[in-house]
Structure formats: structure tokens, C-alpha cells
Chain A
């Protein structure tokens, strides 16, 4: 059953400067969420300034013309709100959750930093240190982070997805104020942004206020093309990371389609079949039956360009990674060679459908989903059809996509071997 547009009365508008606006009123609680999605992420970077999208995300909180340093969050929190942001390979999203009476302030804060961000050397130096700490936390001292970074570099030769979103440490250190200013001028323009507002507000009044605050901001110029070329993979690729860990790990990745390709939805179902819930194939086989792993987990997230289907195996201490890998390949062969049963397909569909509904059960979740659909599928309306599109996927579709994706010559494998760090 599709989601009904009646339940999601989204008001759409595009201003003359290109800013896309999506408003969804909901008066049930005295709260709102505002998201500003910018079409810029690590895929828009180049070697030498990797990590600038993410570093820049931090710089957006350091002051603009009307609201100086430290003012953004101070004003917002004093009005009953909080903010955060994230950067991915494809986009940067800023959001505020707040008591609905703070809406005028939130729009003023957001439009002010889009119109007149101030980037100074001192704040850049401090923020660079903060980001280096974040990198040490998420990557240098974190096994999942260090394997993920190695897998990206292994899986892509030419595409910007080959470097990590947080960037290489040497690049984080080298990014200049001029790099940031140029990045801001290029990507932080209304024509590169979708503003989503969900919650307790009056639509016409909110739209008028957005037009007043954002309407005068210059649209922004053309943006460079992203070099999306990537040679076909002609054989299995492997890398090893040595680190003093308690147990080995394996992270495997297969290049799949871009998010807009219908096969991405099939891979969502394959992800659910392999790793959602305790009865999922990989958990059942590798964790419960063969007792090779503490955890077996799949991550597949839509991207603008061909995304990675990642499988993470956290091995039991002492288990030979080759043994765990061989069990993993057997499971991937099984889903490629034998058609999935209707019952198992139904289970995967139900899990994915429930996940979507639960994401829509909060104000923030609705705003995020609307924005993500705009970014990845071109329109928020795509979310209305998603349940039907998942429902139409057949067992033959699953087999076809699994065969194509999990062919042995498309494997990228990173192994963590417990041991001393080799400098």
C-alpha cells in the first residue's frame, strides 16, 4: 500500500534564486525540525583538500555577519532548540530541532550564515584541531573506521568515493582559509540547497518569512562537474590492516548501482535478508550456527554514484579470517544461485517497510526523509511510492541483482590482523 499524499501535505516552492523549499505542517506537538540540505560532499573534493566538506560543516557554526562567533548555538539553545549536522560522500545536511516559537530565529540564523558566513584564521585553526580529534576518534583509534577507510581506497580507483569523508589527516592539516572561502562561494548557494521544514507552523506565514530572508541571496554560479568515471573491476582486490586488536575482522565491499537505479531497492531487500534481525542469513550462519563471528552486518546506503554494498564480519577471537570469508562467499553464492523463497522475500519487504514507517514517526525523521528523497531520488514524492516499489520486487529480481553484484571478481576485501602497528 503506498503512503498517502493526504497524510503528507507537503507544500513545494522554488525561489527565484533556486532555493528549493519543502514545508510539511504538523500541529500535534509544539516542535519543529528544519533541515538545510546542500548538494556537496566528499565527492565534490579533490586530492589535497580531502575532508574540506566535513571541515566546512564545522566552520558553518563559527559566526556570520549578524550572528557572531558562538552565537548560532547560543541563541538557538536559549530559544529551546538544538542543532547538528552531518557530511556524507554526496551531501551536507544541517538541522535544528526546536520549540516551535523559535522558528523565526532559526530561519534568521540559517539564512544569515548562507548569506554572509565569516571564515577567519583563528576559528579555522581551532576547528581543524577539533576535526583532527574527530578523525582520531572515528578512524585512527577505531577498527570499523580504519577498515572502512581502507575499503574505500581499495574499491574505487578514479572516483572521489575513494577517500574518506573526514579526509586524510595531511589534507585536513593543509586546507587553507582561501580553500574554505572558495568552497563556500561555490557550494553554499541557494541554488544548491533544499530547505525542509516540518512541524508546528502555519504554512503561508512560514513561506513568506523564508522568501523574505532567503529571497535576496545571490543564486550562486555554476559548479564543477564531478569526475564520476570509474574503470570496471577486473578482479578481486585485497588489503590488510595490522592493529593490536583482540580479534580479526573482515570488511568486504562490492560496487553496486547509484541510488536512482531501481536495483538499489533490490539491494535494500538483500541487505535485510542477509543482516536485518537475528534470523537474517549471515547472522544465522556465521554467528549462531558456525560461531565464527561476534557480529555479521551489512551496510548499503544509497549514493549519487555507484555505491558500496559493505559486509562487516567481526570475528570471534582466534578465528581464521579465511574460514569466515569462505562462509561469507558461500552465503553470497547461495543468494545468487538459489531463488529466495517467497516467505523470506516477504520478511525482507516487511522489515524494510517497517523501517520506513518508523523513520517517518518523528518530526526530525519526516524532515530528513523528505530531504533525502529530494537529494537521492529527485523528489520527496518518491517516498510515497516506495512501499509499492519494494512490494513489486520479485525473487527473480533478487537473484539477478545478487548475481550481478556479488560476482567473485567484484570483491574488495580488507582484513584486520591483530598485531603491532607497523610505522
Chain B
């Protein structure tokens, strides 16, 4: 019935593409994808949340949000019209490492799409009134986010998981106390120093050949050459190793009237560049990925304690976290935490069983191509592999590397990806009295207020 055999031909054939790095430091990627008449463009800039100046958490995100609120050529309303009249919605996102602007349009509108993308990225007006309005909007949104316990838990994990002063130790959206201080000059200065060709990448996916797409990109870029901010030096980020610590500590974040507690267990993890990437993702999948992992089995299937259970590796360029996530009703909080810790501690000693290892390898290898299907996913995966310094072979050989992970490799990395170990932090977002009672005697516990995390 089928033509392919996972074990025999694991490497993945990428669609035709060309990559060129310009003398300016800007990398161009042109990818040909036939089928649907769509064109996608994605501009990645070295302007992620880790670049937020001290005391200005959220500035990278604030700057991206302002890009579409008016350019030097047109007011905000006309920017929206320019993009959305093409049927596109501009994705403007900030991750830990980068800012990315992306849009997808009918293929015949590729010229207009590139113009719109470059105008928004390179020529924002940052008008005083728009900066003030964005500040009010962001502060209101940050407060509103406190209503979602899972969002609060995620923000707490990032903030406390990396430790004070670490460039990754704040959520991209920042905090109200910082956002409240943002002025026009902050956005202008961030844009001028981070929105540069050096370290940026422009990827397009379309029906034309890679050579034709590359030609189109160069032609378009020449029209926008003078709009790029000038080159300027910015200080190197200081990455300190996460401090070693013993035992576990607990932080309870009080959410009044919650009948369910959000639970995270977080420990230092691995950077994306680790040479042990394949064994790390395989070992993590056996522990807490998919629907049949050790933890899903123990917590959801065998005990019915939660609807959702997972472990995830947050792998950034220079540091990472291992995070366990779940939730349960207040009455079974202690049981869930005890089962999770017991299973993860045991896993750190033994690693996956042979069956679990084989399942994890084939699960990851089999599903991997699905993550490269859409125009958007293809551009993002390829851009990230290049920007993270991993190269295309990271994608092309992913399946063979994953399938080759040996039992000994998985066992030896298990203690490094299991979140339950010395220095781990247990974060609970829920009704504080109930949570403290449930967790009594487990570890030193701090109680924090919701407001600190928004």
C-alpha cells in the first residue's frame, strides 16, 4: 500500500532551495513549494526577548507590536489595510532569541507582500501617541493574562527557572512594572540596534524556482537598502551558568477560588546546540511526550489524576530548561506531585525500557515530516536551523539520528533531562491555602502573589 519504509530510507528530502548570505550579514533562503498557489515570507531578526535591556523586560515584544502601528509612509489603519487586503494576517512574534515577521498571500501578490513586510520591519514611525496607546494596551493585557492559571505558570517557569539576571529569565511579554516605563526612545533605540542585516534572515516559500525567488528577493532588497538601520555595536549578552543547588524548593502562586492546581516542575536543561540533541529528545519523549509516555501512563491512564501530562525541553541557543507540566483538582495535588517525582527520579536512574525507547524513536521519526508541511512551518524550521547554527543537515538527518539513539545513550542522558533532580523548582498556581496544606513537608515553600508575574 505504501512506497516508503521508515527504517530503510529515514533521511528527509527537502524541497528545492537556495541559501545565500549577503556581505551585509543578511541570509536569504528561497524555497520552492508547488501545489497550492501561495507565497510565504518570513523575516527573522536578532531582536528576541533575550535582548531586552535590564529593567526593560518586554521591550522586544513591545517594539514588534508597534511596528504595524504606523510606518513613515502610512498610519496604522493603512498598514492594516495594506496587509489584510491581500488576505494576509501579519504574524509578528517574539521568541527568546529572535523577532519574526511573517505573512502568507496568494502567489500573484508576492511583490506586494515583500514590500509590506519590509516597510513594516524597517520603517516604523513609533509615533508618540501610538507608543502611549501601546503601553496602555500592553499593561491591560498583562493584567488580563493573570486570569489564566496556565499562562501564569508558564511565566513563572521562565522567570524563576533561569535565575536572576539571566537573559532568558523573563517572559517575552515582560512585566507591567517595566512596560509602564517604556518611552518612544526605548523602542527607537531597540529597533536601531537590533533590526540589522547582520544576523537577520529572510526566507520565502513559493511556486517559482529557488533561483527565481532569490533573484526576486535581491531585487526587492535593493529597493529597501537605504531603510535598514545603520550598523551599530551592541553589548554581548552575559550568560552565567545556572547556580547549582541542592534539594527542591516550592513556589505557590495564589489564584483565589481555583478548584484545580497548575503544576510545573522545572530544572536546568540543555541548549539546542547540544551534540546530544537526538538522545535528549528521544529520552524526553519516552518520559513525557506523546500519549503513551511513562508519565501519561502513570498519571492519566492508570490513576485518572489529570487530563494533560507532559515533559518538555525548552532548548534555547545558549541554555535550556526541562519542564514537567500537568494539572489536577486541589484534592489530588499531593498525589500527582508524588507520583510525578517518583517516576521521574526512577527514570533518571534507569532511562527508558527497550520497548519505550523503540517507540519513542519511531514516533519522533514517523511524525517529523508533518512538521515541515505548510509553507509557514517549512520556512520557520529552515530559518531556525540556520540561525541556531545547526544547518540544514539538522533537518535532513533528524530521522536517522533519532532512529540511531542507542539504549546506553538514552540511559546516560536521562538524569540530565528529568526535571526531578537537585535544584528543581516546583511551581503550583492555585488556591494557596489548599496547595500549602497538600504539599506540607515536601520542600521549603514560598507563597507569591499573582501580580508578580504580570
Contacts and interface: CB of A to CB of B under 8 A. Distances in A.
Contacts of A102: 366
Given A141-B259, A141-B260, A74 B359 contact: yes
A126 B302 contact: yes
A51 interface: no
Given A99-B365, A202-B1, A279-B81, A288 B38 contact: no
A329 to B, nearest CB: 22
A293 to B, nearest CB: 9
A317 B358 contact: no
A294 B374 contact: no
Contact of A361 (B305, B306, B373): B373
Nearest to A1: B37
Contacts, number: 223
B427 to A, nearest CB: 16
Given A29-B373, A141-B259, A247 B305 contact: no
Interface stretch (A128-136, A251-259, A394-402): A128-136
A270 B303 CA distance: 46
Contacts of B140: 247, 294, 316-317
Contacts of A201: 1-2
Contacts of B1: 103-104, 201-202, 205-206, 209
Contacts of A347: 81, 84-85, 87
Given A244-B257, A351-B84, A358-B374, A130 B363 contact: no
B89 A276 contact: yes
B85 A97 contact: no
Nearest to B306: A133
Contacts of A284: 77, 80
Interface stretch (B194-202, B230-238, B276-284, B289-297): B289-297
B4 A30 contact: yes
Contact of A357 (B36, B302, B307): B36
A243 B370 contact: no
Contacts of A136: 259-260, 327, 329
B423 interface: no
Find the residue from A30, A78, A357 having the highest chain B CB count within 10 A: A30
A294 B84 contact: no
Contact of B362 (A78, A134, A200, A349): A78
B87 A140 contact: no
Given A100-B3, A246-B143, A142 B301 contact: no
Interface string A337-368: 00000010011011111100110111111000
A137 B308 contact: yes
Nearest to B301: A70
Interface stretch (A80-88, A111-119, A220-228, A406-414): A80-88
Interface residues of A, number: 86
Find the residue from A131, A277, A314, A351 having the highest chain B CB count within 10 A: A277
Given A77-B290, A100-B2, A130-B307, A279 B80 contact: yes
Given A77-B291, A133-B305, A294-B141, A357 B38 contact: yes
Interface stretch (B18-26, B146-154, B432-440): B146-154
B5 interface: yes
A191 B349 CA distance: 51
Given A82-B291, A279-B81, A354 B304 contact: no
Given A30-B4, A133-B306, A136-B329, 13 more contacts: A29-B369, A30-B2, A78-B358, A133-B327, A133-B328, A136-B259, A200-B4, A243-B257, A280-B84, A317-B144, A350-B86, A354-B105, A420-B257
The 9 closest A-B CB pairs, nearest first, are A80-B366, A279-B80, A350-B87, A129-B304, A99-B366, A30-B4, A354-B87, A126-B304, A134-B307
